[in-house]
Structure 1
Amino acid sequence: MFQGSLPINMDAKGRMAIPSKYRDPLAAACEGRLIVTASPYERCLMIYPEPQWQVLSKKIAGLNNSHPATRRLQRLVLGNATEVELDSNGRILLPQILRDYASLDKKLVFVGLSDKAELWSEEGWNAQLDAQDDGELPDELLNLSL
């Protein structure tokens, strides 16, 4: 459903417009109901249509939480999950705690990743693009040809 990266703005109240090309598909897929939560990997937010979130949240909640890393992931992702709905102008209101977590200010980048999207500060997204990853590739990437 989501694809590409688009610059967007957030107003002083924390409202941002979902890019117009996604509004009709979101209305059809989830009646405009989305879940916004903290990413456990980078300082950005993840946005899920409600049906995708229901599947993912059950998987995360079902993890054995005897390991501190699992508890941290559950706290970050489930503990910060916030239900939002598109208003009549196609906007959502981002909670202050999530805006602070991802250092979101006026200029944002909406990044489509198929069944979910990420929301980055413009500065954070540009730093991500500029970062060099010279680490070892995971096995699933070794056979991928782009």
Structure 2
Amino acid sequence: MLTGSHAINMDAKGRMAIPAKVRDSLATACAGRLVLTAHPDERCLLVYPEPQWDEVLANVQSLPNSNRAVRRVQRLLMGYATPVEMDSNGRIPVSPTLRSYAGLDKKLMLVGLGDKLELWSEDAWLALLDEPVDDELPDVMQSLSF
């Protein structure tokens, strides 16, 4: 289970160190093999343990690509997909292309979402938290108590 928000830094070579708590979970779940890709709706990256990515990839590939919106999602998710492996210090490289897509610089936020992580620039993450939410909660969430 990948949870929590972690303020981390990217080094000058475009590597980020995975926090120890998250690193341990990833070592168990996927032996440190991950896939980074573009989030199709927001300017951040999705970080999948390899087994979860394989499931997502199969689902995305099975969508009917005659629909323009589906093609966009396929292009972003599959087109930006980059396999990476944690090094012995728990670092992973983030390609210049992915850094550019998500506007990543030195200060980052790594956010756990259960089976995957999101990687945000710290500024974009803070701006997202300050955005008002105008959307109605879906019916499925009406019965949840937090």
| Alignment TM class, shorter chain as reference | over 0.9
CA RMSD of the aligned region, Å? 0.8
Contact 2:2–2:25, Cα closer than 8 Å, also in 1: no
Match of 1:21 in 2: 21
> What residue ranges of structure 1 are gaps of 5+ in the alignment?
none
Q: Which residue is 1:76 aligned to?
A: 76
For residues 20-79 of structure 1, what are the alpha-carbon distances to aligned partners after superposition, in whole Å with 9 as ceiling and x for unaligned?
Answer: 112222112211100000001110000000001111110001000111000000000011
Q: Which runs of 5+ in 2 are unaligned?
A: none
Normalised by the length of structure 2, the TM-score is 0.97
Aligned to 1:91: 91
TM-score, length basis structure 1: 0.97
Distance 1:51 1:140 in 2: 27
- Number of aligned residue pairs: 146
Please tell me the residue identity of whatever aligns with 2:48.
Y
Counterpart-to-counterpart distance in 2, 1:91 and 1:144: 37
Which aligned segments of 4 or more residues in structure 1 are displaced greater than 3 angstroms? none
Identity of aligned residues (%): 60
Rounded Cα–Cα distance in structure 2 between residues aligned with 1:92 and 1:20: 13
